[in-house]
Structure 1
Amino acid sequence: MKREKLIGLIMLVATLALLGACSNTASSSEGGEDVKTLRLGHIQSESHTWHKGSVKFAELVEEKTNGSVKVEIYPSSTLGSDRDLIEGTQIGSVDFALVAGVMSNFYQPYSILELPYLFDDQEHLESFLYGEAGAELQRDMLEETGIRGLEFFTRAPRELTTNKRVDSIEDLQGIKIRVPNIEASVEGWDAMGANPTPMNFSEVYSSLQTGVIDAQENPASFITSAKIHEVQDYLVKTDHVYGYVQLIMSDLTYEKLTEEEQKAVEEAALEARNYQNELVAEQDKKALQVMEDAGVEIIEVDKEPFREAVLPVHERLADKYGRELYEQIIEMSSLGGN
């Protein structure tokens, strides 16, 4: 009997140790007070605005909680791809993440936001994101996924880079273009005549270098941050998506914080959003200049044929993922709808 009790005690201790090791919210003691150390992951390099916004967020959280909560930042896909980060926030192995369109694979109404030529410009995007419609979208996402949307950070428009000259939509025919694994992006580029190829962003540089793909599309600062301009000859000013990156939080982590800490995190997210957004336009201009200085030719195109080509995709995905949400966005358009 004593042997059985000893074995049982050993197993209990081992189980408790394993549970402690699996907890992602590390605590330490400073001056007799517990400090919660949380992890924030993103896929960008340390030179990018996402990272700078993350650093500001971490500084603000520590300041506003008087040091009771600290945020450690893991850039450059250290904690995994966008999908890995989102899955991590669902199970609580990641506390915060900055993620973009891949969220549509977890909460389908986000698919609407990824439609090419949905938003007219940055003002149209922000009127949606920072209004009641954007807030409602985040509340619904929390209920559906267990992921808490803290803030939307804006991004510069997505542009096309390619090794084959594109002066018009006709020149897109057959170009093999890397796209994120997002339905609206795949179908949109297919409708425009390209050959869309979903691929993790970490594989893009080498795939362009070896000719596996001809082209890719991203905001200018994203392109230079990953040095994609080193293996591309042209940047085409398509402005096809005015997009966002969302600062998300595991609701499991959120519920472990005190009410004061929760409020501090929310305030820090808002201030970090404003800080990051101010950097975006400036960094986008610098990135375009970097590419031009490196010999990348920048091409202006008539966007209207591109926009018209994707309207059938708008209609199909609006019916599939949220006609009401789609119409809300179109009603805000300065173009008076499609």
Structure 2
Amino acid sequence: MLVESLRYIASAGLVLGLMAGPALAENLRYAHVGSEGDIQTRYAEEATAAIKAATDDRITVQVFPASQLGGVAELVDGVRIGSIQMGHHDFASLARIAPEVAVFNAPFIYRDGAHALSATDPRTSRALQEINEKLIREGGVRIIGRLYRGARHISSNFEVKSPDDLAGKAFRAVPLDLWVSMVKGFGATPTPVEVSELPTALMTGLVVGQENPLTMISANKLNEVQSHVAMTGHMQSVLAIFVNEAAWQRLDEVDRTTITEVLDRKAKESLRWAQDSEGELIAQLTGAGMTFVTTENGLDLDAFRTQVLKQINADFPEYTAYIEQISAVE
């Protein structure tokens, strides 16, 4: 009887030990729309490799860049339903779930790239934590990190010094409400175009200009269809890394912590990448025939700031409290 009891205890202990053992391996699908050479593509490749290493191969992440799994809408819908477990794009891409999240992409609200990263840290940003709760509740999506691509500037096939130069002209807007409002503030006519279709839209004249970080302008060879860059720096391009909530909760708590730490380290690295590359990109694009318009040679940045913020405040009065919180971040 004693022997049987000991066998039972040993067997039960073995089962409990197995239950408490290492978490099951997970393979996550990670999608984004960035092309080869863009900082966001480098970020996804390096961050996912670091996640695999840091979790001792328990978590592997397969990256699908360049809209391979669809455009922005398909990306967000895929993460919501769980057919795609992770992805990244502008915060505003999640506005169909929680409209307020678009505030993190609002123009002229960050002092610089470092401020943008601090204000969008999901571990410490009070505004983001509040909005994250709504994203989880309403859409089953959680923001777990961010990355920095650089300041966004205006490119065009003619010189742009003030909003008057864009008045009435068809200008590419990211197909999100915030971008449509901003382009109206530019004085232009917003024309939604997916990023995968942008070079063709510029070449055919469907739109006369667009706005993006210099890394994207270079990676997509927009110098071949655009002649000028106005260095407006109207947005600090910070993208949200988001995950399907059910997939996230399947992961062991230790692995979740490890992933967020990896993403934070890579976010800080992305800021350095963008800062280090700006001068090189200006030289490269100048050599490729582009002309840069700055405040030193006539760019009226105050006119852009005033007109754009007026339009944003009119269209999104609900952003006011969040913008105040963002401004207060050190």
TM-score class, shorter: 0.7 to 0.9
Which one of 250, 266, 269 corresponds to residue 272 of structure 1?
Answer: 266
Is the Cα–Cα contact under 8 Å of residues 176 and 195 in structure 1 kept in the other structure? yes
Assess, with a 3 A threshold, how the Cα gap between structure 1 residues 259 and 287 changes in structure 2: closer, same or farther.
Answer: same
Aligned to 2:243: 249
Is the Cα–Cα contact under 8 Å of residues 146 and 263 in structure 2 kept in the other structure? no
1:38-49 residue pairs with structure 2 within 5 A?
Answer: 38-49=28-39
Cα shift at 1:332: 5.4
Cα shift at 1:181: 1.4
Is the Cα–Cα contact under 8 Å of residues 114 and 271 in structure 2 kept in the other structure? no
Cα shift at 1:202: 0.9
Assess, with a 3 A threshold, how the Cα gap between structure 1 residues 37 and 127 changes in structure 2: closer, same or farther.
Answer: closer
Aligned to 1:137: 131
Number of positions where the alignment pairs a residue of Structure 1 with one of Structure 2: 301
Assess, with a 3 A threshold, how the Cα gap between structure 1 residues 127 and 61 changes in structure 2: closer, same or farther.
Answer: closer
Assess, with a 3 A threshold, how the Cα gap between structure 1 residues 67 and 114 changes in structure 2: closer, same or farther.
Answer: closer
Aligned to 2:62: 72
Which one of 213, 217, 236 corresponds to residue 219 of structure 1?
Answer: 213
User: Does the alignment pair 1:104 with 2:95?
Assistant: yes
Assess, with a 3 A threshold, how the Cα gap between structure 1 residues 103 and 288 changes in structure 2: closer, same or farther.
Answer: farther
Aligned to 2:180: 186
Assess, with a 3 A threshold, how the Cα gap between structure 1 residues 259 and 119 changes in structure 2: closer, same or farther.
Answer: closer
CA displacement, residues 148-184 of structure 1 (integer Å, 9 cap, x when unaligned): 1111212211100001221222211122110101222
Is the Cα–Cα contact under 8 Å of residues 105 and 182 in structure 1 kept in the other structure? no
CA displacement, residues 204-251 of structure 1 (integer Å, 9 cap, x when unaligned): 101111111110111110111111121101011111111311111111
Cα separation, 2, equivalents of 1:285 and 1:107: 37
Cα separation, 2, equivalents of 1:111 and 1:36: 31
CA RMSD of aligned residues (A): 2.2
Aligned to 1:328: 325
Cα separation, 2, equivalents of 1:314 and 1:192: 11
Is the Cα–Cα contact under 8 Å of residues 117 and 267 in structure 2 kept in the other structure? no
Aligned to 1:82: 72
Aligned to 2:14: none
Paired residue type of 1:189 = V
Cα separation, 2, equivalents of 1:315 and 1:256: 40
Aligned to 1:125: 116
Is the Cα–Cα contact under 8 Å of residues 151 and 269 in structure 1 kept in the other structure? yes
Cα separation, 2, equivalents of 1:212 and 1:46: 24
Assess, with a 3 A threshold, how the Cα gap between structure 1 residues 44 and 139 changes in structure 2: closer, same or farther.
Answer: same
Unaligned runs of 5+ in 1: 1-32, 334-338
User: Does the alignment pair 1:160 with 2:151?
Assistant: no
Cα separation, 1, equivalents of 2:26 and 2:327: 43
Cα shift at 1:34: 5.4
Secondary structure, in 3 states, of the residue corresponding to 1:245?
Answer: strand
Cα shift at 1:63: 1.6
Is the Cα–Cα contact under 8 Å of residues 54 and 272 in structure 1 kept in the other structure? no
Greater mean alpha carbon deviation, residues 193-202 or residues 97-106: 97-106
Cα shift at 1:278: 2.1
Aligned to 1:37: 27
Which one of 311, 314, 330 corresponds to residue 312 of structure 2?
Answer: 314
Unaligned runs of 5+ in 2: 1-22
Paired residue type of 2:197 = E
Scaled by the length of structure 1, the TM-score of the pair is 0.82
User: Does the alignment pair 1:198 with 2:195?
Assistant: no
